[in-house]
């Protein structure tokens, strides 16, 4: 949306531009390199961690 609005507004003025839904990222949270998401609290992280099937002991 920023590109469309600020870069070349005259060139894109007549064209319809579709945007995907916004992705909201947490300002602070728990991150794990194998997760596809960031966790907002310890219980949500532990639920994810304990449900993993790729852990080998």
- pLDDT value of residue 32: 92
Say if residues 29 and 39 touch (Cβ distance below 8 Å).
yes
The two three-digit tokens of residue 54, written as one number: 């790729």
What's the mean pLDDT in 3-18? 66
Whether residue 4 has pLDDT greater than 70: no
Alpha-carbon distances, residue 43 vs 3, 30, 31, 46 (angstroms):
38, 11, 13, 5
- Banded pLDDT at 24 (limits 50, 70, 90): confident
Q: Domain residue spans in the chain? A: 20-57
Share of the chain above pLDDT 70, in %: 67
- Summarised one tens digit per residue, pLDDT across range 27-50 is 899 999 999 889 999 999 999 999
- Whether the predicted pLDDT of 10 surpasses 70: no
């Amino acid at each position: 949306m920023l590109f469309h609005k600020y870069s070349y507004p005259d060139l894109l003025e007549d064209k319809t531009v579709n945007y995907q839904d916004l992705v909201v990222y947490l300002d602070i949270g728990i991150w794990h390199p194998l997760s596809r998401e960031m966790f907002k609290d310890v219980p949500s992280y532990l639920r994810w961690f304990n449900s993993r099937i790729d852990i080998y002991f």
